[in-house]
Copies of this chain bind each other. A is one copy, B any other.
Amino acid sequence: MSGPEVLVFDVFGTVVDWYSGIKDEVDALDCGLDGHEIALAWRAGYQPAMETVRSGGEWVKLDVLHRRILDGVLAERGRDDIDEATRTHLTRAWHRLPAWPDSVEGIHRLAARFTVCPLSNGNLSLLTHMAKRAGLHWDCVLSAEVFRAYKPDAATYLGVADVFDLPPASVMMVACHPEDLDAAASHGLPCAYVDRPLEFGPGAALERAPRPSGTLEVASMTELANALGC
């Protein structure tokens, strides 16, 4: 049995800390919005927004969905006074999310032995800007935008195997979300789970579902690099 040749990474929560990134940028605006509350409400709109595309709606980039969700979050709070420039600025905060402290080193070490790519629902420019700013190393940026389908659509996981002309067993999915790993595993990808207990902030009680059997379980990207001999 040979191991994986390509590692693909979920990004929001797994590689970067969306909660702190969004909370801090909202708080920095100092305009009466609670960063903690806005970050959680914005992220809560993420799956429903993608579902409009998954269920046959027109393809749109995550940037567009992020903006639609934000508009809804602000409307619910009666904050029609938040102007266009501020909404655009905030939506781009998703391009500026900080990496978890272990991500840059861990992924850099993994790249010495594997081809490393994000496989994220974030659009290409979002992932590119984020990586450049955070110093993340990717060999190739893969995204829902490339496959015109959002995870957990099979077209994303199997799309990576097709890009590299590999069987799914040679592509490992790395994520902190069991649902992402379940979908990947159902299409034959081996899985690694990275525990991210702070994904929803320091106070959140986080209960993760069980992972697919055979999943490699680690607490950081550097631990993943250790586990895979890098």
Among residues of B, the one whose C-beta sits closest to the C-beta of A129 is: B115
Tell me whether A110 is interfacial, beta carbon within 8 Å: no
Among residues of B, the one whose C-beta sits closest to the C-beta of A142 is: B124
Tell me whether A194 is interfacial, beta carbon within 8 Å: no
Tell me whether A146 is interfacial, beta carbon within 8 Å: yes
Tell me whether A195 is interfacial, beta carbon within 8 Å: no
Tell me whether A165 is interfacial, beta carbon within 8 Å: yes
Tell me whether A46 is interfacial, beta carbon within 8 Å: no
Q: Say which residue of B115, B127, B129, B165 sits within 8 Å of A132 (CB atoms).
A: B115
User: Which of A123, A131, A141: most chain B Cβ within 10 A?
Assistant: A141
Q: How many residues of A contact B (CB 8 A)?
A: 21
Cross-chain contact B132 with A139 (CB below 8 angstroms): yes
How distant is the Cα of A145 from the Cα of B148 in the complex, in angstroms?
12
Q: Say which residue of B117, B129, B146 sits within 8 Å of A146 (CB atoms).
A: B146
Q: Say which residue of B123, B124, B141, B164 sits within 8 Å of A125 (CB atoms).
A: B164
Q: Which of A99-117 contact B (CB under 8 A)?
A: 111, 115, 117
Among residues of B, the one whose C-beta sits closest to the C-beta of A64 is: B165
Among residues of B, the one whose C-beta sits closest to the C-beta of A141 is: B140
Residues in B neighbouring A111, C-beta threshold 8 A: 132
Closest 6 CB pairs of A and B: A128-B140, A140-B141, A125-B164, A124-B163, A128-B139, A132-B139
- What are 15 sample pairs from A and B whose C-beta atoms fall under 8 A apart? A63-B165, A111-B132, A115-B128, A115-B129, A117-B128, A124-B142, A124-B163, A125-B165, A127-B140, A128-B139, A128-B140, A128-B164, A132-B139, A139-B141, A141-B141
